[in-house]
Structure 1
Amino acid sequence: MLNRRHLLSLTGSLAVLGALPARLALADAPTDARFVLAIQRGAMDGLHAVPPYADPHYKALRGNLALADDGGAKGLLDLDGKFGLHPKLAALKSWYDQGEMLVVHAVATPYRERSHFDGQDLLENGSAQPHAGNSGWLNRAIGLMGGDDRRLGLALGPEVPLALRGETAVASWAPDKLPSAAPDFLNLVQAMYAKQPALQTVLRQAIDADRLAQAAVGSTAGMASFRPGNAARILAESGGKLLAQPNGPRIAVLELQGWDTHTNQNGRMAQALAQMNDALAALKQSLGPVWAKTVVMTATEFGRTARPNGSNGTDHGTATALFLAGGAVAGKRVIANWPGLDSGRLYQDRDLAPTTDFRSVAKAVLQAHLGLPPEALDRVVFPQSAAAKPMADLLRS
């Protein structure tokens, strides 16, 4: 609910009004499609999440990190006779079987170094170099969609990630720690701004947006149960309810943590994958019928080394796996120009070699699902990226 922190921010300059929940307000959106970008911060090991168990070098290369393919309870979930899913991804497996999830393997951004900071910056700014700009590719994409002052984008969390930053205004939502403002306090602020049209308008928008959030999420979505272990699920569930509103946002970014698995990868990956599985399952449930119009895409800064290190973990690598899920996805496929895992085919003799550009997948979603023109994708959203052609047939016609 609207609280004193939101209201007191009105007393500052107009520059601080960006924190207000008023940015949730939206009318007559230029698209009815929904898109969620789930950023896996820390570099997800695609060989662990989607093991290529039929590759003859898989088991020997992965050692203790190799998942069993014997059909046991702790073994991988078979996809197509060549690739499987980690057993903690049961929801995604059910979507795959229903034709609502696919995997793109051996995928990477143009980044070839191994810095988390630089890799995440490039992943989100959409250029071929880290720190090439201060705006994100998803913000620029939203800007091309029109909608005037309508806020199409939504950051799920207390901060707006780089992917959503830029000239186009976006929303943010997170459970609030502070108590709601008393009605008398609201009346006082409204009276104070009675002769300040700009502030009065923003306050009115904030109140309207709060009503939208209350109707979608409810007043019980507070911080009492908001902990690191279930934060992603709560944000995903609430975000889905907001996206499902006819006058709500259309595009959201959800951040998933816990992928930097230098040690004890079997346990840490199981936890991170379980949290992702639960968050995305909650997202689907809260979207309801709107799931049929939704695409969820995962993204991470880079993959991890093909061989385990001495701490039963992996270090920073190159290519990884990417998930596309949603009712709009033409699923039940693993798309992979598979490079192989023998020593001569690994990138720099250590990493899964990249064969698919991440931008080709993102462009396909933005063009086929959100209706952006190809020329703008190459020039504005992902500058100087004409060589990365949109992948075909990822979505239902």
Structure 2
Amino acid sequence: MLSRRLFLKSGALIGCSAAAHPWLTSISLAAAPGENRLVVIILRGAMDGLDVFQPYGDPALPGLRKTLSAGPAGGAADLDGFFALHPALQPLMPLWTAGEMGFAPAVSTPYRDKRSHFDGQDMLEAGTGTDLDLIRQRDGWLNRLLQQMPGAVSETAYSVGLEDMRILDGPAPAKSWAPETRFRVTAQGQRLLEHVWHDDPLFRQAGGQAMEIVAEGLERIDEEKGPTRDIRALARFAAGRLNGQTRIASFSIAGWDSHAGQVQVIGRALDRLAAAILTLRDGLGANWGRTTVLAMTEFGRTARENGTGGTDHGTGGAMLVAGGAVRGGRAIGGWPGLGEGDLYAGRDLMPMRDVRAHAAWALHGLFGTPRGILERDVFPGLDMGEDPRLLA
């Protein structure tokens, strides 16, 4: 059976040519009631939170990292006398100063010890608590949120790009499109196609949705220049939708797997993250004040630097929060310490809190989703614990 996604990617029928940039990611969007906006950015590859938000005030850090995470002495910007912001995120310092950016150190999903990117990302997007739950739960936590929102308009949920994002998978309907796919057909050609696929329900549905998406202009993303071109275009596209009826957007940024040469690897990835957030802010305009951005990763990296100037797969990581709706300018949550007896399994930053709890409290504040629904249906088995007061 030919899926909608395969139909829209195919060039055999109507001259479509999928020429997506290799860095271009999927984006999922959905309409929901109210005026608050949520953007979830999945950081694929395990971002090193100890390098992004450098705990230079922890006396054990210099012994673990000889060349990484040197704090202000290495060019990072001091945040609060204990943490410093990686130099590549310096463009976001005005957001920190304005209280529009913060971070949660030492967080993770319940995923432990196996340290597989694929499993870790699946668990993050599915929002489950155990591997067994992951097998049972085939949908994503944003899709389950939509199912619990009486006023959600699921017909306007899209998955745009060349890869699926599990975070919005599920019974709530979605449409698919690749932003750089060229889909050109004249009015006469459209009538001919409609006649051809009229008696084929599969092609009639897929073709009709493709025409609808093209009519809305979703395939038009401005050409950009520079290494952050694609992510700026994607963020601008998301902002444009969020300024309309869309209230929830999710996309991913890859490139965080820094086993070797971490200085270069993480610098490039952070440039893209900063560009995405600043483009969202600029594009949203007044709606930035009603927006919350959650940047989440599947797990952290080892506390110790390895012999190739990188770090290996770990456990505890960090979550970045931004937006005019957040209560930023602070580290959100406790710090476990980096002493020998403080590390998880003697090698990783010890998680202090389930990252799903922060996401759940954000959903509670933004959309009024009851705690019981969040703990039972959206994030099965989660104990949200105390409110971290993410929102202003």
Measured against the shorter chain, the TM-score band is: 0.7 to 0.9
The answer to whether the 8 Å contact 1:364/1:390 transfers is no
- Of the three residues 275, 279, 302, the one matched with 1:278 is 275
Give per-residue Cα distances to partners, 1:127-160, cap 9 Å, x unaligned: 1123332111111011111346533544453223
- Alignment partner, residue 70 of structure 2: 67
The answer to whether the 8 Å contact 1:58/1:341 transfers is yes
- Of the three residues 364, 374, 388, the one matched with 2:371 is 374
Give me the whole-angstrom Cα distance separating, in 1, the residues matched to 2:234 and 2:108.
Answer: 27
Using the size of structure 1 for normalisation, the TM-score is 0.84
Give me the whole-angstrom Cα distance separating, in 2, the residues matched to 1:307 and 1:259.
Answer: 17
- Alignment partner, residue 19 of structure 1: none
- Shift in Å at residue 184 of structure 1? 2.0
The answer to whether the 8 Å contact 1:190/1:200 transfers is yes
Aligned 1:183-194 pairs, distance under 5 A = 183-191=187-195
- Shift in Å at residue 371 of structure 1? 1.6
Q: Gaps spanning 5+ residues in structure 2: where? A: 1-6, 14-26
Give me the whole-angstrom Cα distance separating, in 2, the residues matched to 1:111 and 1:24.
Answer: 24
Using the size of structure 2 for normalisation, the TM-score is 0.85
Question: How many residues are treated as equivalent by the alignment?
Answer: 370
- Alignment partner, residue 45 of structure 1: 48
Give me the whole-angstrom Cα distance separating, in 2, the residues matched to 1:42 and 1:24.
Answer: 19
- Alignment partner, residue 106 of structure 1: 106
Q: Cα–Cα, structure 1 residues 26 and 213, in superposed 2: closer, same or farther, change >3 Å?
A: farther
- Alignment partner, residue 232 of structure 1: 231
Letter in 2 for 1:240: A
Q: Percent identity?
A: 38
Q: Cα–Cα, structure 1 residues 36 and 288, in superposed 2: closer, same or farther, change >3 Å?
A: same
- Shift in Å at residue 206 of structure 1? 4.8
Q: Gaps spanning 5+ residues in structure 1: where? A: 12-22
- Shift in Å at residue 293 of structure 1? 1.3
Give me the whole-angstrom Cα distance separating, in 2, the residues matched to 1:42 and 1:198.
Answer: 36
Partner of 2:289, secondary structure, is helix
- Shift in Å at residue 118 of structure 1? 1.5
Task: Report whether the alignment pairs 1:141 with 2:164.
Answer: no
Q: Which runs of 4+ in 1 moved over 6 A?
A: 23-27, 193-202
Aligned 1:24-39 pairs, distance under 5 A = 29-39=32-42
Give me the whole-angstrom Cα distance separating, in 1, the residues matched to 2:225 and 2:159.
Answer: 17
- Alignment partner, residue 331 of structure 2: 334
Letter in 2 for 1:237: R
Aligned 1:308-387 pairs, distance under 5 A = 308-385=305-382, 387=383
Q: Over aligned residues, Cα RMSD in angstroms?
A: 3.0
Task: Report whether the alignment pairs 1:170 with 2:174.
Answer: yes
- Shift in Å at residue 178 of structure 1? 2.7
Aligned 1:123-272 pairs, distance under 5 A = 123-130=124-131, 131-132=134-135, 133-147=137-151, 150-151=154-155, 153-191=157-195, 206-213=210-217, 219=220, 221=222, 230-245=229-244, 247=245, 249-272=246-269
Give me the whole-angstrom Cα distance separating, in 2, the residues matched to 1:45 and 1:176.
Answer: 31
Give me the whole-angstrom Cα distance separating, in 1, the residues matched to 2:249 and 2:329.
Answer: 24
- Alignment partner, residue 95 of structure 1: 95
The answer to whether the 8 Å contact 2:198/2:204 transfers is yes
Q: Cα–Cα, structure 1 residues 358 and 374, in superposed 2: closer, same or farther, change >3 Å?
A: same
Letter in 2 for 1:108: S
